[in-house]
Amino acid sequence: GNSVTQMEGPVTLSEEAFLTINCTYTATGYPSLFWYVQYPGEGLQLLLKATKADDKGSNKGFEATYRKETTSFHLEKGSVQVSDSAVYFCALMNYGGSQGNLIFGKGTKLSVKP
């Protein structure tokens, strides 16, 4: 079946540190991959996406590359800010017939200290 595994948090970094949040997936076929971000008290917002192998999604300084050979979609940012403190979810969507199920990882909480 389809599943997403992401590194457990919480992750605590100082401002301007480099961020990596690991995400690996298991899926049949060719899923699309997403990173969502949830700020405190809010719903999820799409951060970036990639729809095929070797695609790189990027937004707000965050990047992730769809690596089919390692079934990974790690999230990176070169210099984090306090405002990046949030919970980050890796997710996949597989398509086939009428399937419309978005599968999420368990989330990684990031805290950035000034």
Residues between 33 and 92 with contacts to other proteins, criterion CB under 8 A: 34, 36, 41-46, 49, 89, 91
Of the listed pieces 12-20, 29-37, 58-66, 78-86, which binds other proteins according to CB under 8 A? 29-37
Strands (E), the chain: 3-6, 11-14, 19-21, 23-26, 32-38, 44-50, 56-59, 62-65, 75-77, 86-93, 102-104, 108-113
Letter for the amino acid at 51? T
Taking CB under 8 A as the rule, does residue 102 contact other proteins?
yes
Of the listed pieces 16-24, 32-40, 59-67, 72-80, which binds other proteins according to CB under 8 A? 32-40
Pairing mode of beta strands 56-59, 44-50: unpaired
Between residues 12 and 51, which has the closer beta carbon with respect to other proteins?
51
